[in-house]
Amino acid sequence: MHLNRRCAETAGELVERLDRPPQLLRRGAERQPHVALERAVNAERRPRGDQDSLPGRDGGEAGGDRRRQADPVRFPDLSLSIVKLLGRGEYALDPAGPGAPAHFGLAVQDYTHSTAPNRRYPDVITQRLVKAALARQRVPYSETDIDALAQHCTKKEDDANKVERQVRKSAAALLLESRIGERFDAIVTGASAKGTWARALSLPVDGRIVRGFAGLDVGERVEVRLVGTDVERGFIDFEKA
């Protein structure tokens, strides 16, 4: 991950030094990332009720390492909750011109998206743009092309993720269908107008809290009771115990 990040930063710095062409970048779809980050900080702080080791206070990785050491069992679920708060990613056009695109999640200014061109078409696009910039040749895509490709790649990624999520949810519902009535220690992973979700700590399954969810927020520890499953639809329903 660190190597991928540095490569993305280096490519961004390189293209910025040249006559910067339009780029394809990946960004969070969350339009108010600072609001999401505030909720993430509150989620991280909530289990202890203090203000130590908050993300980004002393360099996010150091704070994250201390949090992992302090609560190794709960840390993966807390991390998942924070990632969900920051929202899904999407591909987008960054128009040509001065100024480099910033990446809120990575906290870097010079950035272009590139991870695995053998697996992701968006990375092939980035490599072609960088290659043209290095050779000082005409870029192979117009801004209209990149914008259309960004929307297409985002949609196809979303379609694939939906299929993967459905398979995982149905498998989890099948795993739990004989355990109706059992109680589980869980962590709240989502809380919005659409509903409240929790992830069991002893099993890698997520479910919706359909009763007793009032006042719960992301990062809270809660005991839940399994009240229903639907394998075909991939539904798992909890109530606050």
Q: What is the CATH number of the domain that holds 219?
A: 2.40.50.140
Same domain, 138 and 225: no
Same domain, 45 and 142: yes
Reading the chain (241 residues) residue by residue, the pLDDT tens digits are 454 555 555 555 555 555 566 777 777 665 555 565 566 666 556 555 444 444 444 444 555 566 666 666 666 666 766 666 666 778 888 887 665 556 656 666 666 666 666 678 888 888 888 888 888 888 899 999 999 999 999 999 999 999 999 999 999 999 999 999 999 999 898 888 889 999 998 887 999 999 999 999 888 889 999 999 999 999 999 999 9
Same domain, 52 and 143: yes
Question: What would the two tokens of residue 160 be?
Answer: 């694939």
Same domain, 144 and 72: yes
Given 124, 145, 165, the domain boundary residue is 165
Question: What would the two tokens of residue 207 be?
Answer: 């479910």
Same domain, 83 and 136: yes
How many Cα neighbours within 13 Å face the side chain of 135? 10
**Residue 146 pLDDT:** 92
**Angle at the Cα of 107 (from 106 to 111), degrees rounded to 5?**
70
**Residue 173 pLDDT:** 96
Domain of 93, in residue numbers:
2-165
Give the chain's domain count.
2
Same domain, 143 and 200: no
Same domain, 221 and 143: no
**What does the alpha-carbon distance between residue 119 and residue 4 come to, in Å, rounded to a whole number?**
14
* 19: alpha, beta or left? (left if phi > 0; alpha if psi -120 to 50): beta
Same domain, 14 and 44: yes
